[in-house]
Amino acid sequence: MQPTFTSSRILLPVRPWFIFLSLAGALLLNFLPTAHWPGVPDWVALVLCFWSVREFRRVGMGWAFVLGILMDVADGAVLGQHCFAYVLLAYTAASLSRRILWFPLAQQALQIMPLLLLCQVVQALMRLVVGADFPGWGYFIGPLVATLLWLPATFILLLPQYQPVEQDPNRPI
Amino acid sequence: MAGINHAPPPFFKQGPAPLALLTFYVAISIALFVVDLRFRSLELIRQSISLVVDPVQRVAQTPGSLVDYAASYLQGMRALEKENYDLKHAQLNITPDLQRLAHLEVENERLRKLLAVKEREKAKGQVAQILYTARDPFSRRVVIDKGQQSGIVAGQPAIDEAGVVGQVTRVFPFSAEITLITDKDQAVPVQIVRSGQRSVVFGLGKGQLELRYMPANADVEVGDLLVTSGLDGVYLPGFPVAKVTNIERDSAYSFARIFCVPIAGVENFGELMVLDPRQTLPPAPPEATGRTGDSGTDNAVRVKKKRPARGN
- Distance CA(B283)–CA(B47), nearest Å, equals 32
- Residue B3: inside a domain, yes or no? no
Structural domain includes residue B13: no
Together in a domain, B221 and B132: yes
At A44-102, the pLDDT tens digits run: 999 999 999 988 888 889 999 999 999 998 888 888 999 999 999 999 999 999 898 88
Q: Do B184 and A13 touch (CB under 8 A)?
A: no
Total domains present in chain B: 3
Residues B218, B194: contact at Cβ < 8 Å? no
Q: What CATH number did the domain enclosing B193 receive? A: 2.40.10.340
B301 part of a folded domain: no
CA–CA gap between residue A123 and residue A44 (Å, rounded)? 14
CA distance B172 to A74: 12
Please indicate, yes or no, whether residues B262 and B164 belong to a single structural domain of this protein. Answer: yes
CB contact (8 A) between residue B64 and residue A33: yes
In a domain, B293, yes or no: no
A15, A35, A60: residue with CB nearest B2: A15
- In a domain? residue B170: yes
Q: Does A32 touch chain B (CB under 8 A)?
A: yes
Q: Which residues of A, range 61-100, sit inside 8 Å of B by Cβ?
A: 61-62, 64-65, 68-70, 73-81, 83-84, 87-88, 91, 94-95
Domain co-membership, B57 together with B88: no
Q: Considering the domain boundaries, does residue B221 fall inside one? A: yes
Domain that holds residue B138: 124-278
A168 near B CB under 8 A: no
> Is B24 found in the same domain as B45?
yes
Say which of B53, B185, B205 has its CB closest to residue A74: B53
Residue B287 maps to a domain: no
Nearest beta carbon to residue A31 from set B25, B35, B56: B56
**Residue A166: predicted pLDDT:** 65
Query: For chain B, how many residues are written?
Result: 312
Both B223 and B154 in one domain: the answer is yes
Q: Can you name the residues that pair with B132 across neighbouring β-strands?
A: B143
Q: Are residues B224 and B84 in the same domain?
A: no
Same domain, B113 and B130: no
- One digit per residue, the tens of pLDDT, for chain B of length 312 reads 444 556 666 677 777 888 999 999 999 999 999 998 888 788 888 888 888 888 888 888 887 778 877 877 787 778 888 889 999 998 888 888 888 888 888 888 888 888 876 666 777 888 888 888 887 888 888 888 888 888 898 889 998 888 889 999 989 888 899 999 988 888 999 999 888 888 899 998 878 899 888 887 888 888 889 999 888 888 888 889 999 998 888 777 888 889 999 888 776 767 888 988 887 767 777 776 655 544 444 444 444 444 444 443
Burial B122-144 (b: 16+ CB within 10 A, else e): eeeeeebebbbbbbbbbbbbbbb
Question: Is B274 in the same domain as B145?
Answer: yes
Q: Cβ B177–A12 below 8 Å, yes or no? A: no
Judge contact between A85 and A129, C-beta under 8 A: no
Among the candidates B99, B117, B135, a domain finishes at B117
Question: Closest partner residue to B25 among A77, A87, A130, by Cβ?
Answer: A87
Question: In the prediction, which pLDDT does B294 show?
Answer: 47
**Cα–Cα distance, B265 to B92 (Å, whole number):** 23
CB pairs under 8 A between A and B: 129
Q: Do residue B81 and residue B145 come from a single domain?
A: no
Is B22 in Cβ contact with A87 (below 8 Å)?
yes
Residue B161 forms part of a structural domain: yes
CB contact under 8 A, B135 and A75: yes
* Cross-chain residue pair B2–A13, CB shorter than 8 Å: yes
Residues B177 and B108 in one domain: no
- B187-239 residue pLDDT tens: 999 999 888 888 899 998 878 899 888 887 888 888 889 999 888 888 888 88
- Mark whether B183 and B272 lie in a shared domain: yes
Distances (CA, A) of A65 to A69, A117, B30, B135: 6, 18, 12, 19
Evaluate if pTM is beyond 0.90.
Answer: no
Decide: helix, strand or coil at residue B131: strand
* B270, B199: one domain: yes
